[in-house]
Structure formats: C-alpha cells, structure tokens
Structure 1
Amino acid sequence: MVNVIRLAFSGPRAWAGAAVLVLWPATVVWPQPPQFTNDFGNIGLMQTPTARLAGEGELRMGYSRALPYDFIFMSAQPYDWMEATFRYSEFNNQPYGSNPDEDYLDKSFDFKFRLSREDGLMPEVALGFQDIGGTGLLSGEYLVASKRWGDFDFSLGLGWGRLGSRGKFGNPLGEVLSRFKEPRPTDEPGTPGSFSLSRLFTGRDTALFGGVRWQPEGAPYAITIEREGNDYKSEPFGNDLEVHFPVNLGVSYRLASMDLGLSYERGDQVTFHWALATNLEQEHGPDKVFDPPPTPVSPQRYVTQTDGAGETGAAEAEAQFVEDLRQALARQAFTLVAVDFQRTRGQATIWFRQGRFRNPAQAAGRVARSAASLAPQGYQSFTLVASNDSIEEYRITMERAAIRAAANAEIGVNELSDASHLEPPSVSPRNADYDDFVPYPNFDWGMGPKVRQNVGDPNGFYYGQLWWSVTGEWELTDRLSINGGVGFNIFNNFDDLERVSDSELPHVRSDVKDYLQEGKNNLVRLEANYIWPIAAQWYGRVSAGIFEEMYGGVAAEVLYRPFGQPWAAGVNINRVRQRDYDQRLAFRDYEVTTGHATLYYQYRPMKMRVITSVGRYLAGDYGATLDVSREFSSGARVGVFATKTDVSAEEFGEGSFDKGFYITMPLDMFFPRSVKRTTTFFFRPLTRDGGQKVDDGRSLYGETGDNSFYDFADGWPQVMK
C-alpha cells in the first residue's frame, strides 16, 4: 500500500489510479472513525477538504498556524448533511492599512453540504464553499468524493478558485455557460461583508486535489498525505509563495475532546492546529447529583372513592395536603401558586412555577409525583398548571394511578403520556380554594461574575471584561415587576480599543468603544414590565425604564400564540432615547421610534426555528431581519441572522449589511445541578448602525414558554426524573 500511495501523487496518470482506488467496488462497509479538523477548521486532511462530516450537533473551535496565515475558527454541524465554519484570518505578511505594526485581519464563512452517503460502490460526495462572500481572499469551491477501504480513507476532489489555482484542467462549467470561464480576481479583496455569488465556480482553470488518511480501527491517531490543487502563485495581495514540494504530510491525534494536528507542507513549512469539540445533540452535561430527589411514591394503590370522613374531615385533609405539597415542592425549588379541589370529580388543579428545570415534562413529573404521594385518597387525577406570574404556559392532566405506576417502573413513559392530556392555557381568574402562597410584593436578587466582550474588531480579535453583576427583581403584583442590574469592573482590556466610528448614519451602535470604555462600572438595566393575558392565546406587555446599556424609554408589545401550533405572531413599538456613555442615569439627545411585526415559525421535523421581522430600526431605516436557528436535544441552540434595510451597502459601510451568528448554551451543561438559565455567545463581524434593534423589555415570546412550539411528548423520557 505504501507504493500505491507514492504513485498516487507522482503524475497525471496516477490521479486516475487514485480515482480507481476511491471508487473501487467494496463488499465491506467499514465503520467511520472520528473525523479530524484541517488547517481551515473544516473536516478534512490538511489544506484540503474531504467529503466527510462530523456527527450531527458537533461544535468545534480552535486555532491553526499555517504561515503566512493564522486562523481562529468555529465550526458547527447543525444537521448531519451540513457543516458551517466561521474563520478569523490573520495575514502575517500584510499590514493593516497604513499601520505596519498590525497585520491584516479578515473574516470568512465556509459551508459544506453532503450530496450522498457512502454506500457499497458509491463514495461519499460533498459540495463545498470556502470563504464565500466578503473579501473572498481565500475563496474557492469544490466537489469532493471520499471512499473508505479498510484502514485507509481516500479523497479526490475538483477545486475552483484558490483550491484549483494549479490549473491542470479547464473549467468544465465553462462548456455550459461561458461566464464561468471569466478570469477570477484573487489578489485584491472584494467588498467586506458582501456576498458576491457571481464569482462562484468561475475561472479559466480547475485542479484536482486529494489524499489518503490511514487510521487503524479504534486508534486515536491518523497519518495523512495529500496533494493540493493550489499552486500558491495567486495568493492575496500578490504575496505569492514558493512550493518546494507539492505533497503535504501530517499526523493527527484525538485526545478526549481535543483534536491535535502537526504537518509538513509545501516542502518548507511546519504547521499545526488544535481544536476543542463537543456534541450539542449528545452532550447533556454532568449527572445532576446535586438535584434534590423527587418525592417518592409508594407502590400501594389508593382507592378512588371518598374516605367518608365528611365535609369537615375532607377539608382538613385537603388543607394538610396543600401544606405538605407546598413543602415538598419548595424542597425541589418549586413555588406552589394555588390549589383548587373539585371533590365531585375527584380532581385537584395545582398551579406552580419553577426556575430550575428546562424540560417542561420533568418539571410536571416532579409536581405529579408529589401530588400522587400526598393527596387525599379521593383524588384520582391532577391538572398541573405551569405559570409564569400571570401567564399560564400549559396545563396537563395526569391520572394518579398512571403516575404511581410510572414512578415505580410498572409502566413506561409512553403509557404515562397516553394516559395524560395536554390542554391550552386559561385566561380566566383562578378562583382557587387556596391562592395566597405568593405574597406580593416580594423581592429576589442575585450576584456573580459575568463576562462582557467585543469580538472581531478589525484592530484585535478579542476585547473583554470580567465583571461582577448584581441583579434584582421586585414583584409588585403577578403582572407588574421592576427588575434591574448593575455591573462592577474587575478586569478589562477595553482601553486598547481604538476604532472610531466613521458611519454616515446616526451612531446608534457604532460608538460601542465609548460605551465599553466609559461604562466599565454601570447601571445595566432598570425597567418596569406589566404583562398580562389579554384573551385566550393573546398576550400583552407595556414596559418603561432603562432597557439596556445603550437605550431607555417606553415600549408595548402584543403577541398571538395559538396553543399547539408551530407559529406565533407579534407586534412591538417603542420610543427610546440614547444613554450617555457612562451608563448612569443621563441621556444623550438622540431619540427615535422603532417597531416591528414579527412572525415565529417552528419547523418541528428539523427542530428549526425561523423568526422574520419587518419594521423600523434604530437609525430610522426600514427593512427586515431573518433569524434561523436549530435547537439540539441538550437545549443548546445555534443560529444565524441577517438584516437588510433601505440603507445602501455604501452608506452602511464595511460589512454591507448587518449579520452574524449566535450560540445559546444551557448552563446546566456545565454544572452537576439543574439550572434553567442559559448563556449566549453572540457574534457579528462588525458593529455598524444599519439594521439595529433595541432590547425593549421582557419579550412575550420568551415569557410564554416554548411549549406551543415543541411537542411536549419530546420530553417524556425525563418526566419521572
């Protein structure tokens, strides 16, 4: 096999031999080993991609050095057929502007799509786009096939752009449309932030690339050999490189969740990379050993008729049950809101709220276990109502016998689901027998470290602040609350920020440097929110105060959320004023009215959420925002967004239009205790002024929960935990 590998890269005829090896009929399909990261942060060999992808839900981030380039990358696989990579590139041989002490920095996105899986005679095939849009300094497109034979994985691809600059073949697409044969500019950057789709697959020539990776079954290491389709004679800014030897050699090693790579490229360069990986679909964090245990349920079955104790005895038993239930739920970090008894039907309705468990089925299951264990004998079913202050999120009725049987493993969760009934929320007054467990007003507060950050500035990749945050909420009624937060600086490097806004639009966001530098100790938020159910499936909110670090004002929102449907629609409007840079109580002169009509849609088969909003933005521009995200079973969410308004690309400035991505992680992925809160890493390549929204109070979409958008049954495996 060593001779075969050597010959596979010895000349044009050997490429045909490599293709034969890739497509050779296979009678055995070998299990796929873990995939390794290439220099660009994608699944691949070293400089070249393969048709392989990682597992669905994998998230990788890391660093590579392949002089004259340094790459910081983040790659996600939202589906098993798609890979998306963001890369921050530093050109070590090119100064940034007129400053010789700073290297040129560039941002880029890659996408890879699987076209077919490996199956019998057929290889795995993928279509990919490298550095799509924007400057396109390292841009290229490719079609690649991969075929595994024993411990060897062969790849062969056809590259355009940088991946095909070796130019051994004419552009096959040029035979279809002549425009594909037009010269492709490679030494000058395009418009930052734009998507120049017209240059895709263009250029007079293409080239083959590929290689082979040897990885014994079960081994954490692999050895790779590849030949590129790039001749390095058309590098950005005319900094062409000499290739002393056209074959690259490398070794990769997987250490737990870390991917390490070392290679010898172009005959004179040693390159390396490392990447950390996790799987958002499979990883659920440590076991929740610090969660309080659920209430035990005795296997003894209760009789269903009343106990004959009379009205007085029944009332005393109910009162004792309510007190026992309150204590049992409090031990599990739940708050009992109200209880109502329907004696003639043998049913009790229990309102509760909680801030610990993300999974609604798990929360309902814990309340159900407590009720089944403690209720008087005459009550054979319970309607559990999850509430968020004045708003009900869902109602679910569960039979006592089924709860007890499931708690004692006599039936499975599917049988428990079949014996339960999910109902829409009610907007009628509770009028419950016991309804005084949440005293108003009440106050709650918390504090802890947080991080503020500015990522991706052209003058430096990361600027951050370690910050001590103190937050508090004062609930005056079940509808009216006041919440606020302050931050105290511990450490930051914001003084190194130098970028001054050159925006032609009102500086609604681009003065972020001044806010970070002058507001190191600040009043983050001080707002009042009044939230109430207007009618069945209709919700309303009015808010006033300091909404965020840059704006304060007044706002209103209305949301229609039909129960059990995958969509919702809302309208919001606000009048806001810009705050002073020090973020205390003073305001600047700029004032504006903004508002949006928003449609939410959840495509359940793909666990995809699409949010589309149309309206007026902070700079007075009009347009639309599209936000598309995927939620994983761990509760993590990965999404992208883009906004296009009536501001032209020239007027918007660098970036052309607002866009970015975000990753939301549930905090209980990091702790041995259930935590309902999440944290979000939010990235936009550059903070500009077009297409900017204001955070104007507590969103009704978040306040009404996710249960109208997700099948409640998805969480049933957690219901008795």
Structure 2
Amino acid sequence: MRRSRLTRHLMATALPAALLLGSGTGTAVADPLIARNMSTYGLPGGIDTPTAETLPDGTLGATVSWSDYARRGNIFFQALPGLTAVLRYGRVDGINDYRNEGYISDRSLDLRYQVLEEDGWRPAVAVGLQDFLGTGVYSGEYVVATKTITPRIRVSAGLGWGVLAGNPRTIDVGDEGGTPNVDQWFSGSPKPFASVSWQATDKLNLIAEYSNDEYVANYSNGNSFQQGEEPGSSLNLAANYRIGRNYEAGLYTIGGETIGATFTIALNPREAAYPSGLEKAPAPVRPRPSPAADPEGWSGSWSQDPTAQPAIQKALGDALADEGQTLESMGLSATRAEVRIRNTRFINQAEAVGRTARLMTRALPPSVETFAITSTANGMPTSTVVLRRSDVERLENTEAGQIAAASQLVDAPRSAPGLVTTPGVTPRFRWSIKPYVDLGIFSAEDGLTHEVGAEARASYEITPGLIVTGAIRQRAFGDIGQRGPGIPGERGEYYTPEEYEADASLETTPEGVPRVRSDTRMYTGNTSPVIPELTLAWYEKPTDTVYTRVTTGLLERAYGGVSAEALWKPANSQLAIGAEVNHVRKRDFDQLFDFRDYEVTMGHVSAYYEFTEGFTGQLSVGKYLAGDVGATVALQREFANGWRIGAYATKTDLSAEEFGEGSFDKGITLSIPLGWATGEASRDRVSTDLRSLSRDGGAQLNVNGRLYDRVREAQTVDLYEGWGRFWR
C-alpha cells in the first residue's frame, strides 16, 4: 500500500516534533522496562528493531503483523523475568521456492535475555538471537540498551548483525533447518539501530526508529530476492493503541512507503479474568466447644460406639461432595482422623486439602486433634498432609504460609489399618459429550488448518485403580483432509490415500525410516465415527514411594498395544525416576479395531527434577517409535494458578538427512486451566502441543494417564506452589 509524497513528509516530520513537545510533561503510565508495545517480530521493541524491555514474568501472547514485506504470526513467552522467547511463522513475499508463488513460508525462533536492568543513569541492556534455528531469512544478533528519558519517553540504541545490519546471511538451499547457526553468530560488520517511543496518552504509543533491514534474501545457489520494494529510507514510524489490558492494535510504515498493521493479544497467568474466582466460599472453621460444654466429646468415649464412625463418615462425605471432593475412605480414633480424598474440582490440590481441613473441624468430635489428609489419584494414595486441629483453628485468618509451616507432608502408605471404604465409591461411571477443535499451525505448506466435531467420552472405575476409558469422535467440518506423506524429491506433492495404502513399501522413507508420524494425515478426514482411545488401565502402589501403571487397548489414534510404567517419587523429593516400556502395533487409518503390519517395542528411562519458581526439568533416554535411540530434554514452568508452559527437544541416532526438514524433533507445550478464564472451579484444561512438523525421528507414544503428572500434584513443589489457596 503506497503513501503519497505529502503524507510521507508529514509523518516523517510531525512525529519527531511531537516527541520533543511531549517530553517536558506527563505522568508515568507503565512500569520502567515493561514493554509498552510489541514489534512486528513479536518481541518488545520498536517496529522492526528490538529494545531491552521485557514483559511481566510469565506473559504469554501472540502478535500478527502484515505488510508488503512480510506477514508474521508470533507466539511469545516471558519464560523468566529476563528471558523472552518467540516462535514465529512468517510468509516472506518476494522470494520464490519450489511452488513459484512469489513467497515462502518460514519458521523461526528468537531468544532475548536482559543482562542488566535499568538503574539510575544506567540503561537496561539485552542480548538477543534472532532466527537462530530456522533457515535464516531473519537471522541476526544484537546488543541493545534502553533508557527512560522521561516518564513518557524511552530511547533505545544498539548494534546489530545479520539482517539487523542490512547484511543478510546466505541461506543454504540444502539446509533442513533446525540446527543452530552458531558459526554465524555476531559475525560480519555490525551496524547501529535505534528507536524512540513516546507514550502520548495512556492508550496511544508513537514510535520512530532507524533500521538497516533492506529486506533481501541471498541463497547459496546464487539467487538473490528483494522482499517487496526496497525501502525508501531507514526511518520507520508507528502508532499503537492499547485496547483494555490484553489487546493492542497498530499501524506502521517501513521506509515511509508501505503501510503495515499489527495486532497483539497478551495474557498473564497472574491476571485471571476472575482473580478471586466464582466458586462459593468454603465453610468456616468451627472452633471446638470447651471441655465443660462437651465432656463426652472431649473424653473420646464416643469412639467406642460402633455407630459413630459410619455416621461421621457419611456426614463428612456428603459435605465433601458439595465441595467437589470424594471421600474414598476414612480411619477414625479418639484422637486422630485420616481421610483419603479424590479432588474432582480444584486445579490446586492445596485448595482441596484446605477445604477438607475446614470440614473436618465441623464433622469430628472435639477429642480428635490430629488430621491426616491423604490425596489420591487413580486409586493411589500420593501424599498425606498432617495437621493439628488446634493449628487449623488458630491460624484460619492468617496468611497461608503459617499453616504450611505448621503442617507436615509425608509419604502416604499403600494401605493403613482401620481405613473404612466409603460405600458407593466404586464402581463409578462418568461420561461427557463435548465439541472438539483440532488445529494445525506452523505448517509451511498448509498454513492454518482446522477440524471441528463432537466427542463422547466415558470412564468406568471398576475398583480403585482399575479403570476402563473410551472415546468416540464424529467430525462435523474442517479442512484437515486425509493425505499421504510427501513424495520424495517433489516438495509440495503428496501420495494420494489410495496410492499409500496400496503400496506397503511407501510406509518406509527412502532413508529406511519407518513412517510412524509422517503419515499422520492418513488418520484425519474421516467422515465416519472414529475411536481415538479405548483402554483398560490398572494403577497400583506397591510401596510407599513407588507407583505403577499398566494400560492396554487402543492407546491413541495411531497405535494400540500395552504400555507399562513405574515411577519412584517420594512425597518430599524434588527428584523422581521413572521407566516405561511399550509394545504397540500401528492402527488402521479408519481408527476402529483393525491394525497394520508395523509393530515395535520401545520405551524410556526418565529423570524429573522440580526446581524453584515452578520449573520442572525432564530427561528421557531410550528407544522411540521408529526404532531410533536417543534422548529428550524438556523444561516446563507451572504457575500457582495451574498454567503450564514448556518446551522440549529430542535428538536421536537419525542423521539430519534421515530425519528430514527440521533436523530434530522439538516443540512447545501449553496447558491452561479452564477455570482461569471462566472463574469457575474446574480441573478441566485446554492443552496443545505446538510443533511445526510431524516427523518420524524422536516420535513418542501418546498415552493418557502417565504417572508423573498424576502423582506430583499433591507433592512437594507442586503442592506448596499453590499453598496460597489453602484458605480459599
């Protein structure tokens, strides 16, 4: 979109003048160093240039930018107070590939770290890597400083390499991408860039920047492409308008000749739509009467009455059911009560424990001083919180840290003497019918794809720990159709489903790798009902610190068989060790009860470690679905309200050529509690796995009910991260 010469002149002169006029007065409208707007690359910045600003810790969001030079979709995450990460999918115009359509689709990843915070006269300083894992269209590095001049004006200046210096890296036409281009980092001659940001009003932000990007791509075969027209100058201008707390829209110019637009949505896990939630308030703690007012209750003689425990257990079970808890069993003596509860409502186990403790003060005779609240998952006791009743009464109106200090977390024994199972706990049948949405994103060939339908899901718990689970899906509409894998040497061309099914040799790549995931589109597009899962699972706890699972049946949409797992996880340990072995066979593409010829035995040994600030690291070593051997490294951060955001990477003994585009498997995981958005207490989640490609190397089996996430919710770091909700 072209601008007239008069318009370009006015924009180039009016904004700097406005910056000068507005520099003398104004009040602060944002915290220092917290970004006021996002760049077209999805990072705190100017327009095309970066700044040293950050986002509030934990912020997750997306930016879409459009101009004649590029169309970019960015997902950003403030992983640490100083570390910002961006996953980008861009359409770059002016460049041809095998499709000869005048543009390419490119995936890239950025990292930026703020090494110095602003302090007095010292500016904030950040170092960044741009497009360091992709093919290199946007590849560049930088060091940038940002200083607050007045409460409304910030100035940034830095040195850039690669595209930020107007010296784009040569792109290897044979590169599969996915490998860090370390040898190119901070190489070549750097050039300066700069930007000025003026917060004109509480909602309007104006930007002027000096950029060296010439929007040129050079390839190793000698081809060079101009991405759109060459910018008329190095001056870019922008205006951004904030809409509420979470949205921002903007217009910008590149070189004063082309108009572009941006839109940003940013969510902070700590800023829920309903911060206090919409669940009903818990019952208050009931202080015990004095011994003189209830001498029989304090004496403990009631415990000799055989009708006492059944009556108390029923009353407490009914009260817990109103709070979304299931009282699975109970042991009661004159001075101690143990309850085993299944939390079916609250995303934080601490809230379930706290509400249980309140209700125990109301249901139990006054002689009972010790409360032992045991959490269970899939019939397995996972941990026990031991409290003194007098502490619960004394600390009800204090901050949660005090009751945490007064409590004790211990391993829950497999069984305990005197426990009485609550009648009617099992067998238990549950079912639901819900819509489903499958999205395909970051695909170079397909762009954004979708499928919408309905899913009926049911589970039947025969006895504690023995569970039958099944689901049926019916597609309604969408553009994710059935398709064979790509034809080797003919990028953008695919085998038809009929061709793929008719020739068994196609189920192995030319490099000899079994197609365990690269034919995943063969499992889509079914207009008839499909069965994505139908399993029988048995959960057991052979010792106080060891958990086991055996699952058999149709484990996922592409594989059926047997999966067995064992996990060592003491309640107070930040470390856990697990082992899993699976023998599976490939399902037929109609996702019913038939199987194909491919089968494999695979599995892993895994170590998990819970760091501070909600971070959990995982290292898994073993054999994958395609028979390749290697390791997966994963890092996940969980916030107190249940948000989970993580990243993983897998490298096996397959070479980059055998793996194909991307070189190795990697992706981002995201899980958001439904209650964060609705305010209603719920354990339901919206989860997704963002990966650009479905390749065969490093492919894992997708089995529901893996032990670690089931067990850790009521243990150590995860329990105490949410302890602030104990009194809610």
TM-score between both structures, scaled by the size of structure 2: 0.88
Please give the per-residue CA displacement for 1:168-227, whole angstroms capped at 9, x wherever unaligned. xxxxxxxxxxxxxxx942596843222221111122x221100211115x6221111111
Please give the alpha-carbon distance, in whole angstroms, between the structure 1 residues aligned to 2:432 and 2:605.
34
One-letter amino acid matched to 1:222? N
1:639 alignment counterpart: 646
2:195 alignment counterpart: 211
Please give the alpha-carbon distance, in whole angstroms, between the structure 1 residues aligned to 2:31 and 2:323.
48
Please give the alpha-carbon distance, in whole angstroms, between the structure 2 residues aligned to 1:567 and 1:468.
40
2:146 alignment counterpart: 146
Please give the alpha-carbon distance, in whole angstroms, between the structure 1 residues aligned to 2:274 and 2:690.
27
CA distance 1:456–1:521, shift in 2 (3 Å) = farther
Please give the alpha-carbon distance, in whole angstroms, between the structure 2 residues aligned to 1:294 and 1:286.
17
Q: Secondary structure at the match of 1:371?
A: helix
What is the Cα deviation at residue 627 of structure 1? 0.8
Please give the alpha-carbon distance, in whole angstroms, between the structure 2 residues aligned to 1:289 and 1:650.
51
CA distance 1:189–1:75, shift in 2 (3 Å) = farther
1:45 aligns with 2:46: yes
Q: Secondary structure at the match of 1:476?
A: strand
Q: State how 1:517-556 maps to structure 2 within 5 Å.
A: 517-518=525-526, 521-556=529-564
Please give the alpha-carbon distance, in whole angstroms, between the structure 1 residues aligned to 2:129 and 2:241.
26
1:133 alignment counterpart: 133
Q: Could you tell me whether the CA contact under 8 Å between 1:305 and 1:378 is conserved in 2?
A: no
1:422 aligns with 2:409: yes
1:602 aligns with 2:614: no
What is the Cα deviation at residue 482 of structure 1? 1.0
1:403 alignment counterpart: 392
2:98 alignment counterpart: 97
2:592 alignment counterpart: 584
Please give the alpha-carbon distance, in whole angstroms, between the structure 2 residues aligned to 1:312 and 1:461.
68
Please give the per-residue CA displacement for 1:648-670, whole angstroms capped at 9, x wherever unaligned. 10111111111111111111112
Please give the per-residue CA displacement for 1:666-695, whole angstroms capped at 9, x wherever unaligned. 111122211112221211111111110112
Deviates most, 79-88 or 634-643? 634-643
2:6 alignment counterpart: none
1:677 alignment counterpart: 684
What is the Cα deviation at residue 709 of structure 1? 4.5
What is the Cα deviation at residue 378 of structure 1? 2.0
CA distance 1:608–1:324, shift in 2 (3 Å) = same
Please give the per-residue CA displacement for 1:447-498, whole angstroms capped at 9, x wherever unaligned. 2111122222222222111121111111111121111111111221113868
Please give the alpha-carbon distance, in whole angstroms, between the structure 2 residues aligned to 1:309 and 1:252.
70
Please give the alpha-carbon distance, in whole angstroms, between the structure 2 residues aligned to 1:189 and 1:501.
17
1:413 alignment counterpart: 400
Cα root mean square deviation, aligned: 2.7
CA distance 1:501–1:508, shift in 2 (3 Å) = farther
What is the Cα deviation at residue 620 of structure 1? 0.8
Q: Secondary structure at the match of 2:557?
A: coil
Please give the alpha-carbon distance, in whole angstroms, between the structure 2 residues aligned to 1:594 and 1:513.
23
1:693 alignment counterpart: 700
1:13 alignment counterpart: none
1:328 aligns with 2:319: yes
1:614 alignment counterpart: 621
Please give the alpha-carbon distance, in whole angstroms, between the structure 2 residues aligned to 1:309 and 1:60.
58
2:503 alignment counterpart: none
What is the Cα deviation at residue 6 of structure 1? 7.6
What is the Cα deviation at residue 334 of structure 1? 1.1
Please give the alpha-carbon distance, in whole angstroms, between the structure 2 residues aligned to 1:61 and 1:461.
16
Please give the alpha-carbon distance, in whole angstroms, between the structure 2 residues aligned to 1:116 and 1:73.
25
Q: Secondary structure at the match of 1:94?
A: coil
1:628 aligns with 2:628: no
Please give the per-residue CA displacement for 1:684-720, whole angstroms capped at 9, x wherever unaligned. 1111111101124521112323333416443332112
One-letter amino acid matched to 2:131? D
Please give the per-residue CA displacement for 1:340-376, whole angstroms capped at 9, x wherever unaligned. 1122xx1111111121112121101111111101212
CA distance 1:484–1:232, shift in 2 (3 Å) = closer
One-letter amino acid matched to 1:249? L
One-letter amino acid matched to 2:210? R
CA distance 1:337–1:90, shift in 2 (3 Å) = same
What is the Cα deviation at residue 99 of structure 1? 4.9
Q: Secondary structure at the match of 2:209?
A: strand
Q: State how 1:69-80 maps to structure 2 within 5 Å.
A: 69-80=70-81
Flag structure 1 segments of 5+ consecutive residues without an equivalent.
10-17, 22-28, 167-182
Please give the alpha-carbon distance, in whole angstroms, between the structure 1 residues aligned to 2:113 and 2:256.
31
Q: Could you tell me whether the CA contact under 8 Å between 1:30 and 1:148 is conserved in 2?
A: no
Q: Could you tell me whether the CA contact under 8 Å between 1:555 and 1:572 is conserved in 2?
A: yes
Please give the per-residue CA displacement for 1:373-402, whole angstroms capped at 9, x wherever unaligned. 121222122111111243112111222222
Q: Could you tell me whether the CA contact under 8 Å between 2:609 and 2:618 is conserved in 1?
A: yes
Q: Could you tell me whether the CA contact under 8 Å between 1:617 and 1:693 is conserved in 2?
A: yes
Pick aligned residue for 1:510 from 496, 510, 518: 518
What is the Cα deviation at residue 8 of structure 1? 13
Q: How high is the sequence identity, in percent, across the aligned residues?
A: 29
1:174 alignment counterpart: none
One-letter amino acid matched to 1:272? A
Q: Secondary structure at the match of 2:367?
A: coil
Q: Secondary structure at the match of 1:38?
A: coil
One-letter amino acid matched to 2:677? F
Q: Could you tell me whether the CA contact under 8 Å between 2:33 and 2:54 is conserved in 1?
A: no
1:195 alignment counterpart: 180
Q: Could you tell me whether the CA contact under 8 Å between 2:545 and 2:570 is conserved in 1?
A: yes
2:8 alignment counterpart: none
Q: Could you tell me whether the CA contact under 8 Å between 1:35 and 1:53 is conserved in 2?
A: no
1:350 aligns with 2:339: yes
Q: Could you tell me whether the CA contact under 8 Å between 1:38 and 1:47 is conserved in 2?
A: yes
Q: Could you tell me whether the CA contact under 8 Å between 1:630 and 1:637 is conserved in 2?
A: yes
CA distance 1:8–1:333, shift in 2 (3 Å) = closer
CA distance 1:301–1:116, shift in 2 (3 Å) = farther
Please give the alpha-carbon distance, in whole angstroms, between the structure 2 residues aligned to 1:589 and 1:498.
17
2:230 alignment counterpart: 242
Please give the alpha-carbon distance, in whole angstroms, between the structure 2 residues aligned to 1:435 and 1:662.
38
1:179 alignment counterpart: none
Q: Could you tell me whether the CA contact under 8 Å between 1:574 and 1:696 is conserved in 2?
A: no
Q: Secondary structure at the match of 2:463?
A: coil
What is the Cα deviation at residue 46 of structure 1? 0.5
Q: How many matched pairs?
A: 675
Please give the alpha-carbon distance, in whole angstroms, between the structure 1 residues aligned to 2:359 and 2:614.
32
Q: Could you tell me whether the CA contact under 8 Å between 2:249 and 2:264 is conserved in 1?
A: yes
CA distance 1:536–1:233, shift in 2 (3 Å) = closer
Please give the alpha-carbon distance, in whole angstroms, between the structure 1 residues aligned to 2:235 and 2:528.
51
Q: Could you tell me whether the CA contact under 8 Å between 1:442 and 1:475 is conserved in 2?
A: yes
Please give the alpha-carbon distance, in whole angstroms, between the structure 2 residues aligned to 1:498 and 1:224.
48
CA distance 1:37–1:513, shift in 2 (3 Å) = same
Pick aligned residue for 1:719 from 715, 722, 726: 726
Q: Secondary structure at the match of 1:704?
A: helix
Flag structure 2 segments of 5+ consecutive residues without an equivalent.
1-11, 24-29, 489-508
